[in-house]
Copies of this chain bind each other. A is one copy, B any other.
Amino acid sequence: MRNYVTLLFLGALFLIVGCKNEKEQTISEQEIVIEKTDPLPSWNDVESKKNIVAYVEDVINENSPNFIPIADRIATFDNDGNLWSEQPAYFQLFFAMDRVKAMAVDHPEWKNKQPFKAVLENDMEELKKQGEHGIVQLIMATHTGSTIEEFDKDVKDWITTAKHPTKNVGYNQLVYQPMLELLQYLQDNNFKTYVVSGGTVDFMRAFVSEMYNIPSEQIIGSRFKTEFDYNAGNPQIKRLPELDFNNDKEGKALNIQKIIGKKPVFSSGNSDGDLQMMQWATSNKYKSFMLYVHHTDSIREWAYDRNSHIGRLDKGLDQAKKDGWTVIDMEKDWKVIYSPR
């Protein structure tokens, strides 16, 4: 579990502790002028938008030397920090902590047992002391043991009721409106859009399909080991407390090959964890498009890159510059960050 936890969750704690002094941010609703012919109305008329539209119009044009057959229009998107926010910690960690609180009634022993005690008492300093081992216990206690159906219901209940600790809105409100438009634009042009994230796949499937119009079979994530039980005619698949696959860095490229078997032609991420996926995508025989989301908006969202514990974008930024990949400047390129619903 070392890698998984380190990458997904541990660094988060430092930021949770640190974020107490962060100023409350509210989402200001902005009017969006929707032009009828503009597929990306929440984007300013900037280079990133122009690059995207020019690419799509080129590769769907049967008369272009860069034409890509529909079957090969594979687009892969990271989730955390790329389609929705990821600060001050990956939202899946907040889910785990909220679940500990919800499950505590059936676990009276947690009142006196770390790391659960720390979560129940909102004692972030203590939770930080519990370190990696503590986080593993939290994740395993909340993410495994249940059936597919039970866990799906837990996540659906959470995503529709829980509030982000500083934004004070539901997590499902913290989706990037410009990226929703980009997904829709690609789908309208017969790209098959995938989510390829370090988050666990069963967690994402509970809400990603509805939020992004992406079916469960196009969601690729980290996984726990599972077991099949025929259960006298009422079959169940249970998640076991052991990691099956860490869908990050090299893992993203490997899983894309394992599950899709085609190289993406369009790939979008926001961190070094997406770099290998994008490197793999650039190596296909078709004209490809690589897109990095750069978190530059400390007012409307968060600003972080090379030195962040979460969503670190360092080597990726260098390669984007070197290879001419498109980088979105969130502050300057996007009229709105979140969907004004």
Residues of chain A having any CB pair with chain B under 8 Å: 71, 74, 148, 192, 201-202, 205, 215-217, 219, 223, 226-228, 230, 233-235, 237, 244, 250, 253-254, 257-262, 276, 279-280, 282-283
Contact = CB atoms under 8 A, between A and B. Distances in A.
B280 A219 contact: no
Contacts of A244: 258
A215 B262 CA distance: 10
A205 B250 contact: no
Nearest to A279: B235
Contacts of A148: 257
A192 B280 CA distance: 27
A237 B254 contact: yes
Contacts of A258: 201, 223, 226, 244
Nearest to A283: B235
How many identical chains are in the complex?
A: 2
A261 B228 contact: no
B253 A235 contact: yes
A260 B209 CA distance: 12
The 3 closest A-B pairs by CB, nearest first: A216-B261, A228-B250, A217-B260
B201 A234 contact: no
Contacts of A261: 201-202, 205, 216-217, 219
B259 A259 contact: yes
A253 B228 contact: yes
A28 to B, nearest CB: 36
Contact of A237 (B202, B230, B253): B253
Given A71-B215, A205-B261, A260-B216, A254 B228 contact: yes
Contacts of A235: 253, 276, 279-280, 282-283
15 contacts: A71-B215, A74-B217, A148-B257, A192-B217, A205-B261, A216-B260, A217-B259, A217-B261, A217-B262, A227-B250, A227-B254, A234-B283, A235-B276, A237-B253, A237-B254
A267 to B, nearest CB: 12
A205 B262 CA distance: 10
A217 B196 CA distance: 14
Contact of A279 (B71, B230, B257): B230
A238 to B, nearest CB: 10
Contacts of A227: 250, 254
